[in-house]
Chains A and B, each alone.
Chain A
Amino acid sequence: MFKNSLYILASILFLSSCQKVIDVDLNDSNPAYVIEANLYEGTNDFQVKITQTTSYFGTSNPTPINDAIVTLIDPSNVTHSVPSIGNGLYKLPSFSATNNSKYQLIVTAGGKTFNAASTMPFHTSIDSVTYEDFGGFGGGPGGGGGNPNDTYLLTTHFQDSIGIPNNYRVILTRNDTLLNKPFDYYLFDDKIRDGQYIDAPIFTNFFSEGDSIDVELLSMDAGVIDYFYTLSDILTSDANTSAAPANPNSNFSNGALGYFGAFTRSKKSIRIIK
């Protein structure tokens, strides 16, 4: 909001600015490993994706890595090998994960070992999701393409657990389409509202009558939310707003990119009717 207002100011002032596409010669760095691992509460397939970075301007997909050794260590220190299923994916079928427990992931690839630990927090359930017609404020920063019918704001209601730091992410699916543009990251914590009953308005998107929306509330530890905060910063900032861009803060050791997250989740579906 505030940054945007500065740019409105700038653009009003300087109608004479111009833009053009230029060639920038970027070095191709040594490829780095990228690990994405999501562990959910309950019995699910645990899946890990391992790739390597590619050149920035290139159109090729990141290189999948199939010869890594992936090991999950559960809270009782039992190790589980996670086998490759090809295309950079590794899968441990029907793994049962419990909340309030710490998990560790060890990945060995190209002679390097990358460690990460993530604590699955207590379970938080969505009580309800409500909506309200806001009239002329359609669109929302997340896009919606500025559709003038997008006038409904969703609010999710839930009880935060007292005495422990909680970190939340809300993921929305609109009419079976996952909303995953850079501005769709909706992340918050309970630092100033610990233990309260939380009504969180989801300002990232507005909706229209007739929309079916799935609202998913993920709860995670501080290291993982920090990864998403810094990831969303990089995706939404440009050369003007970010003083010094850097890679997101990974919870992996040894310079691997990506994250290992242990999440609890709660989902509610809603359909907007007048």
Chain B
Amino acid sequence: MLKTVFQTLTFLFFIPFLSNAQNHTISGTIKDARNGEDLIGATVRVVELKDKGARSNTYGFYSLTLPSGTYTIEYQYMGYEKKIMKLDVNQDVKQNVQLSVVDRTIKDVVIKAVKEDKNVTRTEMGVIKFDPKSIETVPVLFGEKDIIKTLQLTPGVKAAGEGQSGFYVRGGGVDQNLILLDEASVYNASHLLGFFSVFNSDALKDVTLYKGDIPAEFGGRASSVLDVKMKDGNSKNYSASGGLGLISSRLTVEGPIVKDKGSFIVSGRRTYADLFLKLSKDSLRKQSRLYFYDLNLKANYQVTKKDRVFLSGYFGRDIFGLGSTFGFDWGNTTATVRWNHEFNSKLFSNTSLIYSDYSYQIKAGFNDQEFKIKSSIRDYNLKQDFSWFANSNNNVKFGINLMHHTFRPTVFSGTGLTVSDTLKNRYALEGGAYIQNEQTINDKISIKYGLRVSGFDYIGPGKAYTYDSTGKVTSTKSYENGESIKTYWGLEPRLSARYQINDVSSIKASYNRNLQYLHLLSNSTTSSPTDIWVPSSNNVKPQIANQVALGYFRNFKDNVYEFSIETYYKTLGNQIDYKNGADLFLNTNVEAELEYGKGRCYGAEFYLHKQSGRLTGWVSYTLSRSLRTFKNINEGKEYSAKQDRIHDIAIVGMYELAKKVKLSANWVYNTGSAVTFPSGSYIIDGQKVPYYTERNGYRMPAYHRLDVGVTWIRKKTERRESSWNFSVYNAYGRENAYSISFQQNKDNPNQTEALQTSLFRWIPSITYNFKF
């Protein structure tokens, strides 16, 4: 029965590809003429056939199948000069293309950069895409340009707190974002208590955030995918670039291995806030170490005309220490080896072997005593993806992956202590297979349909526990090496459709379902290096998200302005929260401390983006709710999640005052986070105790802030460039509440008062950037 259904489905799926006219294929790569970087998502258009076209993939490869004939082909990419070619397509054509940046500071030309209409014409929705270069001048905290902080200024994305690099997407949790750096999972994307992200913008090429309509190739998190791709390195010339700032400095070196055949890039960043501590009179501060560093490495080489290999890695670590008695460090390591192969002009393959590790370590010691706390999560992932450019109307992607996880829970060791055996490593396998087709039905309608099948196997060696409602262990069972303890699997359909109303407007709809098998347990409200990832198990079920979205897209003034409204409704199943009084730190039975419930999120996102001209930028407004229901929390009544901020506004503007002077500003406003405050008090055991009646029943004060910046380009030639950037974070010094706590009044101990703590007012920064 199942077999018949499967065969029928397979047959139906392949119907679109059965057309059999005299067709030929144009294929090749699209690159940046200056440095040889692959251009991702560049469009290829056929002037004579309005509904035929193609886009370059992650590796710059494109393929377009057309009936025999002579065509005018347009290659274009946002911010680059359009290239038009006449091609005779009477046989398969290999056509590699290089596009040049429109550089307005050098040439005195009228803007002829491509103004894209992909907002309206592409099937996908719920996507935010950035070229890290385009957001360089947006002012940020400490002048440390940061893609995640900029994403937080777009609709549907919210910062997890003042200056935090953690983010919420469409009401989901911080741990529901799949963060990928060259395909490797980054488990903790922040440095220094979350105030910096691990992404050094200098090393990045392309950043895409999927808030909904997540392509079938991605899986593993409930709410979103942040797909970050590193630069490949300049394959034409050697060059160096970098920046000196108050908090950190950066240096990037790149160049060809063999000209036009291979290149490398090495990019490093280190903060030196602790150098200022040396100036402090306080001896504790003087002996402190406090810094982080990032190192990004990548190399690629075109082995044959059809084969290309890539090697990329990231190493980052935060180091914190107090004298010789205390040390604390944490960080991510990732490595990706990739092999691209062109089977033919229509079938492109990529094979990746990926390693990812996040760990932290705390060391303390005095006299002869020493103790250590360690924890980590480590993955090995084998991934095979195919792009099949079946014909000009169908673009198919399919593939599989298999991942092995090792979870090392918090292990405590030290002089005279024996490690408890309940804290052994835990293991799991996670896998997925997917197929997706993006199909152009006619010049008005296009659809994208895909299915991902994912599975998770929690495996031995290890012990599985069951708990009663009070968290007591009721049974224990031991498992052998590789023996399955608990298996889950599920179907994740992904659908979207676009209807083009006219040249400048369209409506789109999507549905998608995502499963999440790993869960983040956090010790505190803000993200902390000691947050731990745990697998789904016999107690913890996979999280499930279902999302439907509907959007209207409209461009104005020859695509200078992009406008969109997107609405969504999302349900979340098997959500995790903690029992009252749960303590997760060094807890051997964390699963006993968890509660399970559900959530729903809905909202509308308004976005107006000016893409070109002297003034660029956007206005974003999000109206949304994020609600949760847990049986044992808030008496089982629905309550607001912490990130349930109803109104969220961001205005970002960049203005070119003169050729060499750029001004920028952004202003944000949002409703305060939901928070639990007491509604009464009583005395017990001689203590005044707050009385809580409602989970998250109160609101923090509304948050708003203005940041301003100015960039002065000192020198700019074809090869050399230098600029100064000045910025002020929170320019009007708004005292935004970071936390509100309650304490006794010093003069009248019977009186309780609310104390608000604010961070960051008028934080100036200055950065010098160079390139040669």
User: Which residues on A are within 8 Å of B, measured CB to CB?
Assistant: 1-3, 5-6, 8-10, 12-14, 16-24, 26-29, 31-32, 34, 36, 51-59, 61-62, 178, 180, 182, 192, 222, 226, 229-231, 233-235, 238-249, 257-259
Contact = CB atoms under 8 A, between A and B. Distances in A.
A26 B684 CA distance: 21
Contact of A244 (B695, B698, B739): B695
Nearest to B274: A12
B404 to A, nearest CB: 30
A46 to B, nearest CB: 17
Interface string B631-651: 001000000000000000000
Closest 9 pairs (CB-CB, A-B): A230-B581, A29-B679, A53-B680, A246-B580, A24-B754, A239-B739, A238-B741, A34-B682, A59-B750
A9 B328 CA distance: 10
17 contacts: A9-B193, A10-B193, A12-B277, A13-B273, A17-B758, A21-B756, A26-B698, A51-B682, A55-B680, A178-B686, A230-B580, A231-B689, A244-B578, A244-B676, A246-B581, A246-B695, A247-B580
A259 B682 CA distance: 13
A86 B691 CA distance: 24
Interface string B650-679: 000000000000000000000000011111
B690 A56 contact: yes
Contacts of A62: 681-683
Given A26-B677, A62-B683, A230-B581, A13 B691 contact: no
Interface residues of B, number: 75
B691 A240 contact: no
Nearest to A239: B739
A206 to B, nearest CB: 15
Nearest to A247: B692
Contacts of A247: 580, 691-692
B290 A18 contact: no
Interface in B745-769: 748, 750-761, 763
A164 B761 CA distance: 56
A239 B583 CA distance: 15
Interface string B723-740: 000000000000101111
B465 interface: no
A18 B524 contact: no
A20 B734 CA distance: 13
Given A53-B681, A245-B690, A12 B755 contact: no
B288 interface: yes
Given A2-B585, A55-B680, A180-B687, A19 B758 contact: yes
Interface stretch (B221-229, B438-446, B525-533): B525-533
Given A26-B678, A51-B682, A240-B526, A20 B735 contact: yes
Nearest to B763: A16
Nearest to A27: B679
Contacts of B687: 180, 182, 231, 235
Nearest to A57: B752
A68 B47 CA distance: 88
Contacts of A57: 751-753
Given A231-B685, A234-B689, A238-B741, A12 B285 contact: yes
B577 interface: yes
B607 interface: no
Contacts of A192: 420
A248 B580 CA distance: 8
B105 interface: no
B710 to A, nearest CB: 22
A57 B320 CA distance: 39
Contact of A21 (B526, B583, B693, B755): B755
Contacts, number: 191
B467 interface: no
Given A13-B192, A56-B679, A231-B685, A243 B754 contact: no
Contact of A6 (B193, B285, B741, B752): B193
A140 to B, nearest CB: 15
A23 B754 contact: yes
Contacts of B633: 244, 246
In the complex, which of the residues B195, B285, B677, B763 has the most CB atoms of chain A within 10 Å of its own CB atom? Answer: B677
Given A24-B677, A36-B684, A244-B676, A14 B760 contact: yes
Interface string B237-261: 0000000000000000000000000
Interface string B506-529: 000000000000000011111010
A231 B524 contact: no
B740 A24 contact: yes
A53 B691 contact: yes
A231 B685 CA distance: 10
Given A16-B763, A21-B754, A26-B698, 18 more contacts: A5-B322, A6-B193, A10-B193, A22-B756, A29-B693, A31-B680, A32-B680, A34-B683, A56-B678, A59-B748, A230-B580, A235-B687, A238-B739, A244-B578, A244-B676, A246-B580, A246-B692, A247-B691
Given A16-B760, A19-B758, A249-B580, A235 B689 contact: yes
Given A14-B760, A20-B755, A226 B581 contact: yes
B669 to A, nearest CB: 19
A139 to B, nearest CB: 15
A223 to B, nearest CB: 9
Contacts of B693: 27, 29
Contacts of B695: 244, 246
B696 interface: yes
B130 interface: no
Nearest to B748: A59
A230 B579 CA distance: 10
Given A22-B756, A192-B420, A240-B739, A13 B290 contact: yes
A6 B754 contact: no
Interface in B76-117: none
